[in-house]
Chains A and B, each alone.
Chain A
Amino acid sequence: MDGNLNALTTVFTEFYYWVTVVFMFLIHVGFCMYEVGASRARNHMHTLMKNIMIIPLVTVTFFLFGWWIYWAFPNFPFWGGLDTEAGAANLPWADTMATNLGDRITGVFWAAFLLFSWTAASIVSGSVIERIRSSALWVHAVLIGSVFWIIDAAWGWHYGGWMVRVLGYHDAYASGVIHAIAGGYALGVIMVLGPRLGKFAKDGTPRDIPPHNPWLLTIGIFLIYTGFWGFYAACNVPVISPEVIDGQITGATWTATNIYLAPTTLSAITFNFLMSLSGGLMAAYVISKGDAFWTFSGGLAGIITASAGNDLYHPIQAMIIAAIGVVIVYKLHYWVERRFKLDDAVGAVAVHGYAGVVGLVISGFVLWGVPSSPYEGYAAINPIGQITGAIIMFFVLGFLPGWIVAKMQAAAGVLRIPEEVELQGLDYAEHHAYEDAKAAIIEADKQELAARGVAAK
């Protein structure tokens, strides 16, 4: 770190991203609470373990190859091949992927992206509760968390990604690159997995399966909101000088930027985060007729819908876009459920997938002609680029891999738990052991009291 200003900027940036990682951990806590609250009591330990183990599995694989994909794939396969030079510093055996006084920030960047990976995997996890085998879900978690989402990030969430350059793709806070892809992937899996027993009556009418603990669910979604602040901050570069952006921006004014190195401000994303949350909550309350869980989820869906352009929108635009998105998402969820008999247990396909797609499409019109990047020769933001981007995110990198891998797992008989186990509950063994242990220690205590001459009643 040469010079005081350089040292200060480096330390500030390191610390900034480090704090975002801590905040984003709350997203995973929230997802765990939401899933456990939504599952029935006979499944809750299994549901929790299924989500918790996403953390180590995605972390290890993101270290081994996920982070390298981000740097090597921006133009792969059709627009210039693998960038092995940029990828080299991010290979698991590179000395920059370790304690190194010459590189103080790679680990913090790596972690910020990794927490997005957990989120992508956790979104899929929620939609498949109470009937998927953990072993099957954990393969999907690695694929969405350390392969497919990071490919889409390299293509459309990187200052040199081909989607940004050629399509003018713009997705500042990841409507598509996290939410649409994860929602699409979840849809592919649940299409093969099938609904929970009892979800549909014989005439095909869907039944509501109420959460076993609504309060856990409520706290869970509020923690996801909280973690989302960290997510938004992590999507920005906090401060950068024009020279570092290869002199494309003129003058000497330092600025915060989005992931594409185009200017924005923390003030903008603070306005827009809260206004889109509010627009989503208000619209969801009305459209769901005051249903508590759809209202809470609507807040999240509102933010997700506005996220593609929340670096640039006016706050009222963010609010209205969020509200429009939530109405579409709610209607689409129930239409798909009835038409295709799909059981999306926590509404993840709708809240993340459909909201992400709608957000990308709307942003293409509202931000039409705005530069997608400070670099010369890049396409401007436009509706065709955003719609194409939405298809790539939701369908090509999300739905298709999820559906194909789930089909393979189903063919091998390793996707779904047996019906007998589904009925008695996945926690049967744990509950049995718990009751036995409880009875044994109570009996032991009684005997201890009796041995001391105290009448045990």
Chain B
Amino acid sequence: MSTNGYSDWAVDLAEVGPIYPFQGYEVLMVIIGVIFWIGWHRIQFVREAEHLEKARHTGDEEKVKAQLERY
């Protein structure tokens, strides 16, 4: 048993195509990839909104002025 369908390399490479593991599950892998990508955006949106809301209420006027001067 081999996850990529080859148990030895004594083959004619002219006859060989894909050699990655779990061939036949490409669509499932793409779905997992899309979930990973969309999930990342979801987490990022939520976290950034929380961060910005927190930042709105923590600004010290003197420190903000100092930041403006700092450019």
Please classify how large the interface on chain B is, using the bins under 10, 10 to 19, 20 to 34, 35 or more. 20 to 34
- Is there contact, CB below 8 Å, between A249 and B11? yes
Q: Mark B11-35, 1 if CB is under 8 A from A, else 0.
A: 1111110011110001001101100
Known contacts A313-B21, A316-B32; is-contact A371 B3 (Cβ 8 Å): no
Q: Enumerate chain A residues within 8 angstroms of B36, measured Cβ to Cβ.
A: 279, 282, 319-320, 323
B8 interface residue (CB < 8 Å to A): yes
A87 interface residue (CB < 8 Å to B): no
A251 interface residue (CB < 8 Å to B): yes
Known contacts A286-B40, A369-B1; is-contact A255 B21 (Cβ 8 Å): no
Q: Enumerate chain B residues within 8 angstroms of A249, measured Cβ to Cβ.
A: 9-13
Interface residues of A in 360-378 (CB under 8 A from B): 366-371, 373-374, 376
Q: Enumerate chain B residues within 8 angstroms of A279, measured Cβ to Cβ.
A: 36
Known contacts A316-B32, A323-B36, A370-B2; is-contact A290 B47 (Cβ 8 Å): yes
Q: Enumerate chain B residues within 8 angstroms of A373, measured Cβ to Cβ.
A: 9
A289 to B43, CA, bound (A): 10
Q: Enumerate chain A residues within 8 angstroms of B67, measured Cβ to Cβ.
A: none
Output the least CB separation between A369 and chain B (Å): 3
User: Nearest CB to that of B37 among chain A residues?
Assistant: A282
Output the least CB separation between A324 and chain B (Å): 11
Known contacts A251-B14, A290-B47; is-contact A312 B9 (Cβ 8 Å): no
A13 interface residue (CB < 8 Å to B): no
* Inter-chain pairs besides A320-B36, A366-B3, 11 sampled, C-beta below 8 Å: A251-B11, A268-B20, A282-B36, A312-B19, A317-B21, A320-B32, A369-B2, A370-B21, A371-B2, A371-B7, A376-B10
A residues touching B (Cβ–Cβ < 8 Å)? Answer: 242, 248-253, 255, 262-264, 268, 279, 282, 285-286, 289-290, 312-314, 316-317, 319-320, 323, 366-371, 373-374, 376, 380
- The 21 sampled A-B contact pairs (Cβ below 8 Å) are A249-B9, A249-B10, A249-B11, A250-B11, A255-B13, A282-B40, A312-B19, A313-B20, A314-B20, A314-B21, A314-B29, A316-B32, A319-B36, A320-B33, A323-B36, A367-B21, A369-B1, A371-B7, A371-B8, A380-B2, A380-B7
